[in-house]
A and B are shown apart, each in its own frame.
Chain A
Amino acid sequence: MKQFINFIKKEFYHVLRDPKSLLMLFGVPIAQIVLFGFALTNEIKNSNIVIVDNAMDNASQKLIYEIRASKYFNVGQIFMNPDQMDAAFKTGKVKLALVIPKDFDNDLQHLHTAQVQIIADASDPNTATTLTNYMTSIISDYQNQLWQDGGLPYSILTQQRILYNPELAGAPNFVPGVVAMVLLLICVLMTSVSIVREKEMGTLEVLLVSPFNPFLVIFSKMVPYIVVSLINLTIILILSVYLLDLPFKGNLLLLYGESSIFIVCGLSLGLLISTLTDTQQTAMNTSFLLTMLPTMLLSGYLFPIENMPLFLRILSNIIPAKWFYIIIKSVMLKGLGIKYIWRETLILSGMTVFFLTVSLRNFKIRLQ
């Protein structure tokens, strides 16, 4: 036991004394969260818009008030003249304009219908579409209010409801993905490199010629990375809850439990790679190839699996990250319990046992 503890201590020294691995271990996850959270989001906040208010009446004021209250729009100036609006668009700073016609209030009160015009700068079509949708949704909210106030006997509404991410916010989608990617990358990469390093440096030779059980060498290598991965998970969770305002709905203990399975799965995969490669460089490249690409492309994180051709859909089943992505989304965002994800958990555990068995069998107690 003392041997084992000393071995783990030694592994921690390796990790803590190498600035490169430290950066890899803690810099990458933080950078990913921050990048995805702020820079690479497809959510659009604080867009500059102008309003041409030809009505200047009670109803138009109320509508403008609603728009101002939204976090998506920055209402700049309110013009009286369409020409001013044209000029504003030409500066490129204004993405959208709302034109409220004359007699807006009057039309609403008496005809129960009124028209507004939304003009968007579609030089970036995606932004234009998104902003138009935001605006339409604000206006229909306002319309609902009017209907309620007026107490009309019936009204037929098409109700759009987007589950789990009603604001179409970016964060909920990518946080589980980042968690899956970071955990897998760290576990696979660090384990494979740290074992291959011992091979390359010749220290494995000395370790093997000792009474220490070779399998304990492996397990003592795993412990520090399990700890580091759990710390990473905690950092990511704290960042996403406090920095990205991501609501955390699920059971924390369940999340850590499921993550631990996934971590061991990654470590086993890393171990497998280390038994198949002889240099740190090859180990690193193989790890990147086996983790980054499949995780990004086939886990459902960036591209929905449902839209893939049959072959890729079948292939995605052997990607551990796919199952973990489903699990972590269910736990974090939907707050589901083990009842709903036992199947995925079972598949992931099966994969872990498989990788661990294969790599332990493959681990050589001699040099060749």
Chain B
Amino acid sequence: MNPITLQNITKTYEKGKVLAVDDVSFSVNDSEMFGLIGPDGAGKTSIFRILTTLLLPDKGTASVCGKDVVKDYKAIRGMVGYMPGRFSLYQDLSVEENLNFFASLFNTSIKQNYELIKDIYVQLEPFKDRRAGKLSGGMKQKLALCCALIHKPSVLFLDEPTTGVDAVSRFEFWEMLKRLKKQGITILVSTAYMDEVEHCDRIALMQNGKILSMDTPDKIIKSYSEKLFELKGDNKHKLLKDTMTYSDAVGSYASGESIHVSFKKNGKSDADIINGLKGFLESKGYQHIEIVPTVPNIEDCFLSLTKTEIHG
């Protein structure tokens, strides 16, 4: 039995005017870390709220730990751990008071499940008398995770847990999640940061309430259907603008320090493509242009998928 299953879930807001989740189905395996990846407004939070029994779906069925999210909402509420997108602890209570409160909410105590949160809590312990509102972003997220874990849930729902957290804390956070996974906890996590998907066992790329693609991160990258090149040159901003007018390319966008340009696979060799683009740009007056074939990352896959989504 899968700990999380969704079948044809649809959710609309404002009496059907706004479509948030569009016929989504997926299931998460035992002790799996499953990532929902997509920009704001992709429908990630709505899925979280449906699974945590906070929202009712318009259509479709979903179950968590074998319990129906509509009928058996009470049972689910006792079994899962939930960390909403916004920092949702009491800012005017101290770290320890927050933890104690959430422990008692689930009829347990810090002592009882200390083993589970130990790794995280040792980092918080020096600040245990500090008000939660005065913690740094990373510390807040660790506290929220502690509070979501305190009752030893079998499924953990984490809605954008790393948003607004610095790079080091983000890395630490994912390491913690991996350790929790090893202890048998199933984790559904969402993020808008494409570079974080490597931490997940499987991911679903989402946009406009739909799942564009769902697989392991490696397989998604392998299924990339275009040829990708990295372009470097002076005056990046103008260079990107001009590259976008090149009709042979199917996509061009900034990626880090360079520009990524993608082409359809139509039998042309890499050298031909490079020369074609180089010639086009040199005719526009650019010098010192560097074009090399490159390996796509998840962001490239996402953009490639959204493109086909838009153009049908």
Contact = CB atoms under 8 A, between A and B. Distances in A.
A367 interface: yes
Given A18-B92, A206-B82, A211 B77 contact: yes
Interface residues of A, number: 24
Interface string B261-298: 00000000000000000000000000000000000000
Contact of A210 (B85, B90, B106): B106
Interface string B20-49: 000000000000000000000000000001
Contact of B54 (A6, A201, A211, A367): A367
A297 B82 CA distance: 48
B139 interface: no
Interface string A6-19: 11001001100110
A58 interface: no
Contacts of A18: 92
Which 10 pairs between the two chains have the least Cβ-Cβ distance?
A211-B78, A202-B88, A6-B104, A209-B82, A202-B86, A367-B54, A17-B92, A205-B84, A209-B52, A210-B105
Contacts of A211: 74, 77-78, 105-107
Contacts of B61: none
B15 to A, nearest CB: 11
B101 interface: yes
B146 interface: no
B201 interface: no
B152 to A, nearest CB: 13
A270 to B, nearest CB: 20
B92 A3 contact: no
Interface in B84-141: 84-93, 97, 100-102, 104-107
Given A209-B54, A211-B107, A367-B55, A10 B77 contact: no
Given A2-B104, A209-B53, A211-B106, A13 B82 contact: no
A200 B67 CA distance: 29
What size tier do the contact residues of chain B reach?
20 to 34
A208 interface: yes
B55 to A, nearest CB: 6
Contact of A368 (B56, B88, B101, B107): B56
A361 to B, nearest CB: 18
A10 B52 CA distance: 24
A209 B78 CA distance: 7
A208 B76 CA distance: 11
Nearest to A6: B104
Nearest to B94: A13
Contacts of B189: none
A360 B74 CA distance: 18
A136 B86 CA distance: 72
A17 B94 CA distance: 11
Interface in A1-41: 2-3, 6-7, 10, 13-14, 17-18
B45 to A, nearest CB: 10
Contacts of B259: none
Contacts of A203: 88-90
Contacts of A209: 52-54, 77, 80, 82
A205 B55 CA distance: 11
A366 to B, nearest CB: 5
A368 B77 contact: no
Contacts of A205: 49, 54, 82, 84, 88
A206 B101 contact: no
Nearest to B131: A17
A207 B102 CA distance: 9
Nearest to A213: B74
Contacts of A2: 104, 107
